[in-house]
């Protein structure tokens, strides 16, 4: 009972971007995908989001192919935070976040509650009246996060309804954020997972992954190398093999003790 | 899940902000509507013969073409005003919708060849069809030119669209470049047809290329105005989807918008709408580009205000330009394309220079 890729390959223009990939996004857990550039992480996320159609294999939500569900029904069930695109038109942050309400038909009071909670959770309430193009990269990313949160918000009492598991897919959400907001965006993901949502997050930082992941998927060159419970997957040797680095660096990337000390000041 | 983080006054703050944004939208739309109403009345009263307001009102209410004044108001000025409103509105709206769809503030029915495509088909029907298939033209009657112009506009926009596709995704840059090329091709086609045309046909062609509202008898403008208005109304319903498109096509899809359908809809509606307007008025530049920007400068980029606002501003600009065209050099008339471009081009240049502030 998950959102999942089963044996998915994706080929475009004769190039195979994904080769028989199987990934599950279980409800109530954070699944983190790691891998070097060009590993196929974003492609996998695009297929899980229903944007790209697998060339072979299946992308399923509760056993139903995503293509059959259609954009509108998918939009009510999952939100996607992509690497933010520039917007050339003077929309306010408020208007951007309110777009997250588009798939839903909520009462005005519910809409306001959804917006207020989403703005607060993404720590952007103070930016609501600002024009989006004037925000910094990190602020834009957080406003987009608030929009995604608004999309998967539920009126109180409806959150845990049977068969209404929601999913949040994030593509390198920490890329343009300062340390505080990197941690805080992943804290929000943890809150959401604890509330029963399925969270999939593509990350670059194995250290952050180790701290937040329940499940981890290591990808390279369009294939899944290893996947499973985070503590068994995120080991120095596996990270070293995935990113093609030596184990010392892998330990450092995982924020493990490497025995390295800064040299004392002369 | 996050309820404990929200304090009541924050929610009230958002209610306040939502209220303020909505209030600003309503105020702008209301004041534009009032301006348009006043300008329409003014346009009915001024002209080579000045007609006082109460007589205009009496003529419109009585709808009786008894004396000369009433004939001037009902048969000459009123159809022009109606045409200016319908054509200006559809040009402004299509500009707004295309800019939103392409996520490009410089898109405009003129820049991407829609208007020139329509004019080319009109030229073709004036010069070639009248010789080759006069019975078809006679059959279509007053609908002939709107139909041909719509076909031309539609073909141009479809070509731009097809040529702008790269790896299954639309590239705005490709689409605009393709539009410029289509524009050039249509213009050279019009040039060749001009070369072939007789003196009388040449005069008609020149009229198309510069645009004018002077040929507005009721039977000519009603079908075009009706089609333009229908397309305008249908375009209005796409505000939410276009807002989502501002985030990016993929993001719009993630929000449940069927982007491919939306594109088809916008393209068909703007092809038909602009085609209908071009058919009766000829090529009128810059309204489609400038009207949406004026609205965005005043009230932001939300399409719930940009779409109706652009329609009102477009109608207002065309009505003002047409009034100037009528009274500037009586008894002759300035072609309206000269006026909208003369007002629009400097504005466009100013926009280019100050784009940052216009956008932020």
Average pLDDT, chain B: 83
Asked if residues A209 and A202 have their Cβ atoms less than 8 Å apart, the reply is no
| DSSP code at position B165 | E
- State the CATH number of the domain containing residue A126: 3.40.50.300
Cα A94 to Cα A128: distance, rounded to the nearest angstrom:
5
Residue B358 lies in a domain: no
Tokens encoding B354: 């100050």
pLDDT of the residue at B358: 43
The answer for B 180-239 residues in CB contact with A (under 8 A) is: none
- The domain total for chain B is 1
Q: What is the mean pLDDT of residues B92-104?
A: 90
Residue A203 lies in a domain: yes
Task: Enumerate the β-bridge partners of residue B169.
Answer: B166
Cβ neighbours, 10 Å, residue A136: 11
- Asked whether the predicted pLDDT for residue B2 surpasses 70, the reply is no
DSSP assignments along B282-321, one per residue: ----SHHHHHHHHHHHHH-S-HHHHHHHHHHHHHHHHHHH
pLDDT of the residue at B196: 87
Instruction: Report pTM.
Output: 0.86
CB within 8 Å: B3 and A159: no
Q: Mutate which of A116, A123, A185, A200 to test chain B, going by most B C-beta atoms within 10 A?
A: A116
Residues with Cβ < 8 Å from A165, sequence gap 6 or more? A1, A27, A77, A196, A197, A198
pLDDT band for B4, please (50, 70, 90 cuts): very low
pLDDT band for B203, please (50, 70, 90 cuts): confident
CB within 8 Å: B1 and A191: yes
Q: Is residue B93 helix, strand or coil?
A: helix
Residue A237 lies in a domain: yes
CB within 8 Å: B360 and A115: no
Residues of the domain holding A146 = 3-42+53-253
Residue A74 lies in a domain: yes
Asked if residues A195 and A153 have their Cβ atoms less than 8 Å apart, the reply is no
Q: What is the mean pLDDT of residues B75-102?
A: 92
Residue B3 lies in a domain: no
CB within 8 Å: B302 and A95: yes
Q: Tell me how close the Cα of A95 comes to any Cα of chain B, in angstroms.
A: 7
CB within 8 Å: B10 and A120: yes
Q: What is the mean pLDDT of residues B237-250?
A: 92
Residue A125 lies in a domain: yes
Interface predicted TM-score (ipTM) over 0.85: yes
pLDDT of the residue at B260: 81
CB within 8 Å: A94 and B14: yes
Q: Higher model confidence: residue A217 or residue B106?
A: A217
With b meaning 16 or more CB within 10 Å and e meaning fewer, what string describes B110-145? bbbbbbbbbbbbbbbbbbebbeeeeeebeeeebebb
Residues of the domain holding B105 = 8-353
Number of Cβ pairs closer than 8 Å across A and B?
A: 129
pLDDT of the residue at B142: 66
Percent pLDDT > 90 in chain B is 26
Residue A258 lies in a domain: no
Q: Which residues from chain A sit within 8 angstroms of residue B253, using beta carbons?
A: 50-51, 71
Cα A65 to Cα A52: distance, rounded to the nearest angstrom:
12
pLDDT of the residue at A83: 82
The answer for B 13-72 residues in CB contact with A (under 8 A) is: 13-15, 17-18, 21
pLDDT of the residue at B313: 93
> By CA distance, what is B247's nearest residue in A?
A87
Cα B239 to Cα B235: distance, rounded to the nearest angstrom:
8
pLDDT of the residue at B170: 65
Q: Tell me how close the Cα of A159 comes to any Cα of chain B, in angstroms.
A: 8
pLDDT of the residue at B32: 94
CB within 8 Å: B2 and A79: no
Residue B123 lies in a domain: yes
Closest of B179, B160, B288 to residue B232, by C-alpha: B288
**pLDDT 10s digit of each residue in chain A, 266 long?**
689 999 999 998 889 999 999 999 999 999 999 999 989 999 999 999 998 899 999 999 988 999 898 888 999 999 999 886 678 888 899 999 999 999 998 888 889 989 999 999 998 999 988 889 889 888 999 999 999 999 999 887 654 555 678 999 999 998 888 888 899 999 999 999 998 999 999 998 899 999 999 999 999 999 999 999 988 999 999 999 999 998 888 888 888 766 666 666 55
Q: Higher model confidence: residue B42 or residue A256?
A: B42
Residue A241 lies in a domain: yes
Residue A263 lies in a domain: no
> Rg of chain B's alpha carbons, rounded to an integer?
22
Q: Which residues from chain A sit within 8 angstroms of residue B167, using beta carbons?
A: 12-13
pLDDT of the residue at B3: 43
Q: CA end-to-end span of chain B, whole Å?
A: 34
| DSSP code at position B248 | -
Q: Which residues from chain B sit within 8 angstroms of residue A188, using beta carbons?
A: 2
- The domain total for chain A is 1
Residue B113 lies in a domain: yes
- State the CATH number of the domain containing residue B158: 1.10.3470.10
Residue A140 lies in a domain: yes
Strand pairing category for B165-166 and A167-171: unpaired
> By CA distance, what is A70's nearest residue in B?
B256
pLDDT of the residue at A7: 93
CA distance readout (Å), B188 to A145, B192, B197, B282, B320: 50, 6, 14, 17, 31
Asked if residues A222 and A5 have their Cβ atoms less than 8 Å apart, the reply is no
| DSSP code at position A55 | S
């Amino acid at each position: 009972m998950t959102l999942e890729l089963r044996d998915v390959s994706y080929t475009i223009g004769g190039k195979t971007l994904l080769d028989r990939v199987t990934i599950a996004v279980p409800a109530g857990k954070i699944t983190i995908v790691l891998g070097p550039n060009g590993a196929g992480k974003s492609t996998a996320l695009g297929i899980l989001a229903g944007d790209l159609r697998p060339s072979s294999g299946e992308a399923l939500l509760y056993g139903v192919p995503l293509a059959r569900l259609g954009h509108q029904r998918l939009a009510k069930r999952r939100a996607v935070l992509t690497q933010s695109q520039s917007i050339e038109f003077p929309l306010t942050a408020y208007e951007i976040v309110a777009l997250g309400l588009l798939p839903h038909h909520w009462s005005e009071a519910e809409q306001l509650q959804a917006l207020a909670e989403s703005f607060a959770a993404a720590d952007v309430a103070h930016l609501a009246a600002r024009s989006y193009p004037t925000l910094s990269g990190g602020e834009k990313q957080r406003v987009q996060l608030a929009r995604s949160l608004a999309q998967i918000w539920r009126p109180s009492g409806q959150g845990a309804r049977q068969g209404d598991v929601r999913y949040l897919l994030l593509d390198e959400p920490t890329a343009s954020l300062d340390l505080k907001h990197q941690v805080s965006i992943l804290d929000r993901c943890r809150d959401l997972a604890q509330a029963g949502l399925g969270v999939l997050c593509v990350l670059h930082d194995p250290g952050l992954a180790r701290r937040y992941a329940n499940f981890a998927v290591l990808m390279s060159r369009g294939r899944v190398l290893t996947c499973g419970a985070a503590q068994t997957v995120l080991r120095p040797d596996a990270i070293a093999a995935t990113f093609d680095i030596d184990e010392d660096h892998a330990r450092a990337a995982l924020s493990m003790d490497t025995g390295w000390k800064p040299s004392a000041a002369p | 899940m996050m309820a404990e983080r929200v304090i009541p006054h924050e929610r009230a703050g958002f209610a306040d902000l939502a209220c303020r944004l909505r209030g600003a939208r309503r105020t702008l739309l209301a004041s534009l509507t009032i301006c348009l109403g006043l300008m329409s009345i003014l346009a009915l009263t001024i002209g080579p013969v000045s007609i006082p307001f109460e007589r205009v009102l009496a003529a419109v209410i009585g709808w009786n073409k008894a004396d000369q004044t009433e004939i001037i108001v009902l048969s000459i000025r009123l159809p022009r005003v109606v045409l200016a409103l319908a054509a200006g509105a559809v040009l402004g709206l299509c500009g707004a919708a295309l800019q939103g769809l392409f996520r490009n503030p410089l898109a405009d029915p003129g820049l991407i060849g829609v208007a020139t495509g329509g004019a080319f088909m009109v030229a073709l029907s004036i010069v070639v069809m009248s010789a080759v298939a006069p019975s078809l033209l006679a059959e279509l009657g007053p609908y002939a030119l709107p139909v041909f112009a719509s076909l031309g506009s539609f073909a141009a926009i479809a070509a731009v669209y097809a040529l702008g596709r790269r790896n299954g995704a639309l590239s705005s840059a490709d689409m605009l470049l393709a539009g410029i090329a289509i524009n050039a091709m249509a213009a050279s086609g019009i040039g060749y047809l001009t070369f072939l045309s007789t003196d009388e046909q040449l005069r008609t062609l020149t009229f198309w290329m510069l645009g004018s509202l002077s040929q507005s008898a009721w039977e000519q403008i009603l079908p075009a105005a009706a089609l333009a208005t229908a397309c305008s109304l249908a375009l209005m319903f796409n505000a939410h989807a276009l807002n989502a498109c501002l985030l990016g096509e993929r993001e719009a899809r993630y929000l449940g918008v069927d982007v491919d359908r939306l594109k088809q809809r916008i393209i068909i509606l703007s092809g038909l709408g602009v085609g209908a307007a071009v058919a009766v008025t000829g090529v009128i530049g810059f309204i489609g580009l400038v009207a949406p920007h004026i609205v965005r400068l005043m009230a932001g980029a939300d399409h719930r205000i940009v779409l109706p606002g652009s329609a009102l501003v477009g109608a207002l600009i065309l009505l003002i330009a047409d009034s100037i065209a009528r009274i500037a050099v009586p008894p002759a008339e300035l072609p309206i394309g000269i006026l909208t471009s003369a007002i629009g081009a400097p504005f466009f240049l100013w926009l280019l220079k100050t784009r940052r502030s216009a956008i932020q």
